[in-house]
């Protein structure tokens, strides 16, 4: 095949969704293998590896994010059905959850305030722009909800999506060590803290520990999305930021 | 077949959730309402739908994969992030760890206070 044919083939392929979708799955399974190979070391979170490999590949091949996303959107889309799917573990753990309802509600309200307050406060103290502070405010909330909140309070929704993923990774990587240092063994406590601080990526990590921690994390993530969507705009207004 | 039925069911609940949110003008996302509706269905049915269980387990076992495309979006914001990197890194790391620690402490304290019979932390 001549050089021109190869170039044409690449031009054709790079414009089709097939490439974006396939490289996403390849990069993730690479990341997952590496994670298993390293005995599930939380530092080698498969999301970190996948994102690093993909950004490097796109930068080198000169494919834009928009073109990549045309393929990757099929994976991104599954966030919706996956959120609905959380109803299943929630139902399975219903009896345990019912016994912890009041502590859960109290933790959700405090968690929403601390989650937004700490990130906005720290960013403000270190001189970040208002736009960046507002993009950071919903960082612990699951992606689709966080993007909605960000838009409402004057942040950049797509920047928020990136910060949300980073937050989830940080929570998933540090969580188990933090709970060990704090000597917390109760799965409900660990799960709720993980779900409030680190949404779906934290929940994925929690499910790797056990089903109870995963169910509490999923529940906390879903309910904190709800409380944050209601409370955050109002809180920022009261705090005088908006 | 169970997987296919389960996926169809999840999509139907998501769709109903999206429509419900639009009609009621709620500020929560459609999938969250869809999840609540499926949860209520399972409660009323008093039993698990096997197809929903199969599809849910499949989707949730690799939940973190679904966040990869949004994370790659970082490349669009390199300049933004580079300009304010210190504030962003500290806010992300410290903010997340503090949120997780405070949530864990509150949940532990409230569990000891209100649900001591289910609490087992030694």
pLDDT tens for A185-228 read: 999 999 999 999 999 899 989 988 988 899 899 889 888 887 88
Q: How confident is the model at residue A111 (pLDDT cuts 50, 70, 90)?
A: very high
What pLDDT, on a 0 to 100 scale, did the predictor assign at position A1?
52
Same domain assignment for residues A94 and A197: yes
Q: What is the mean pLDDT of chain A?
A: 89
Which token pair is B74? 């970082």
- Note down the domain range covering A46: 3-77
Q: Which residue in chain B is spatially nearest to A84 when comparing CA positions? A: B35
pTM of the prediction?
0.85
Which of B42, B69, B116 has the highest number of chain A CBs within 10 A, making it the mutation to test binding with A?
A: B69
**CA neighbor of A111 nearest in space, from A138, A129, A89:** A138
Core vs surface per residue A205-225: b (16+ CB within 10 A) or e = bbbbbeebbbbbbbbbbbbbb
Same domain, B3 and B53: yes
A211 and A182 together in one domain: yes
Interface touch B80/A159, C-beta < 8 Å: yes
Cα–Cα distance between B95 and A116 in angstroms, integer? 8
Boundary residue ending a domain (A47, A77, A107): A77
What integer pLDDT is reported at residue B78 of this predicted model? 87
CB contact under 8 A, B34 and A83: yes
Arithmetic mean of pLDDT, B14-27: 89
A138 and A226 fall within a common domain: yes
What is the distance in angstroms between the Cα of A18 and the nearest Cα belonging to chain B? 14
Total number of domains in chain A: 2
**Looking at the structure, do residues B73 and B56 belong to the same domain, yes or no?**
no
Does residue A35 sit in the same domain as residue A143? no
Residues from chain B contacting residue A98 (CB–CB below 8 Å): none
Q: Do both A20 and A128 map to the same domain? A: no
pLDDT by residue (tens digit) across B81-109?
A: 888 999 999 999 999 999 999 999 999 99
Domain membership of residue B14 as a residue range: 1-61
| A9–chain B nearest CA distance, Å | 24
Q: Which residue of A has its CA nearest to B84?
A: A128
Residue tagged 């390293």 (tokens): A38
Residues B32, B74, single domain; the answer is no
Chain A residues whose CB is inside 8 A of the B28 CB are 145, 225-226, 229
Report the distance separating Cα A195 and Cα A214, nearest Å: 9
Nearest-neighbour CA in chain A from B4: distance (Å):
13
Average pLDDT, chain B: 89
Which of A65, A75, A92 has its CB closest to that of B68?
A75
Under 8 Å between Cβ of A212 and A188: yes
Alpha helices of A38-142 — where are they, by DSSP H? Answer: 46-61, 65-77, 79-85, 87-92, 94-99, 101-125, 130-136
More confident residue, B39 or A241: B39
Residue A129 and residue A188 share a domain: yes
Arithmetic mean of pLDDT, A13-33 = 91
Over residues B52-83, the pLDDT tens digits come to 999 999 998 888 899 899 889 889 988 888 88
The pLDDT value given to residue A99: 85
pLDDT digits (tens, 9 = 90+) for A27-83: 999 999 999 999 888 888 898 899 999 999 999 998 999 999 999 999 999 988 988
Does A63 share its domain with A140? Answer: no
The predicted structure's pLDDT at residue B87: 93
Answer yes or no: do B45 and B89 share one domain: no
Residue A95 and residue A26 in one domain: no
Same domain, A126 and A178: yes
Do B7 and B42 share a domain, yes or no? yes
Nearest to A145 by CA among A89, A217, A206, A227: A227
Please state which of the ranges A96-100, A126-130, A179-183 shows the lowest mean pLDDT.
A96-100
Is there a contact between A119 and B91 if contact means CB atoms under 8 Å apart?
A: yes
Domain count, chain B: 2
Regarding whether A24 and A135 lie in a shared domain, the answer is: no
**Percent of chain A whose predicted confidence (pLDDT) is above 90:** 57
Q: Minimal Cα–Cα distance from A2 to chain B, Å?
A: 33
Phi, psi of B67 (to 5 degrees): -90, -5
Whether residue A109 is found in the same domain as residue A53: no
**Last residue within a domain, chosen from A56, A77, A98:** A77
Polymer length of chain B: 122
Out of A113-117, A150-154, A198-202, which region has the weakest mean confidence (pLDDT)? A150-154
pLDDT at B30: 83
- The average pLDDT across A126-135 equals 93
**Domain stop point among A37, A58, A77:** A77
Do residues A54 and A121 share a domain? no
The reply to whether B2 and B54 lie within a common domain is: yes
Please tell me what DSSP assigns to residue A31.
H
ipTM tops 0.85 = yes
C-alpha A232 chain-centroid distance: 18
Please list every residue in chain B whose beta carbon sits closer than 8 Å to the beta carbon of residue A188: 107, 111, 118
Query: Are A164 and A141 in contact, with CB atoms under 8 Å apart?
Result: yes
Cβ pair A21, A74 in contact under 8 A: yes
């Amino acid at each position: 095949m001549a050089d021109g044919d190869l170039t044409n083939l690449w031009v054709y392929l790079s414009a089709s969704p097939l490439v974006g979708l396939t490289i996403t799955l390849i990069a993730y399974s690479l990341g997952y293998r590496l994670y298993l190979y390293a005995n599930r070391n939380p530092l080698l979170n498969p999301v970190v590896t996948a994102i690093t490999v993909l950004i490097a590949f796109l930068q080198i091949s000169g494919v834009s994010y928009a073109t990549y996303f045309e393929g990757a959107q099929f994976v991104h889309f599954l966030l919706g059905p996956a959120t609905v799917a959380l109803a299943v573990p929630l139902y399975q753990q219903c009896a345990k959850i019912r016994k912890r309802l009041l502590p859960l509600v109290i933790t959700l309200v405090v968690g929403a305030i601390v989650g937004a307050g700490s990130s906005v406060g720290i960013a403000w103290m270190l001189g970040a722009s208002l736009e960046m502070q507002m993009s950071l405010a919903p960082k612990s909330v699951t992606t689709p909800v966080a993007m909605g909140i960000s838009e409402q309070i004057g942040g950049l929704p797509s920047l928020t999506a990136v910060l949300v993923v980073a937050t989830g990774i940080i929570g998933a990587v540090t969580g188990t060590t933090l709970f060990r240092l704090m000597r917390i063994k109760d799965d409900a406590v660990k799960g709720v803290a993980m779900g409030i601080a680190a949404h779906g990526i934290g929940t994925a990590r929690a499910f790797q520990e056990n089903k109870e921690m995963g169910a509490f994390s999923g529940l906390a993530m879903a309910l904190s999305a709800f409380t944050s969507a209601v409370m955050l705009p109002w809180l920022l207004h009261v705090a005088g930021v908006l | 077949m169970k997987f296919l039925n389960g996926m169809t069911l999840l999509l139907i609940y998501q769709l109903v959730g999206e429509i419900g949110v639009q009609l009621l003008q709620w500020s929560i996302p459609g999938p969250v309402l869809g999840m609540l509706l499926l949860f209520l269905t399972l409660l009323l049915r008093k039993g698990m739908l096997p197809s929903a269980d199969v599809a849910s387990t499949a989707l949730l076992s690799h939940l973190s994969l679904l966040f990869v495309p949004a994370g790659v979006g970082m490349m669009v914001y390199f300049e933004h992030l580079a300009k304010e990197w210190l504030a962003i890194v500290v806010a992300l790391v410290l903010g997340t760890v503090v949120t997780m620690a405070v949530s864990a402490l509150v949940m532990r304290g409230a569990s000891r206070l209100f649900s001591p019979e289910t609490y087992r932390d030694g």
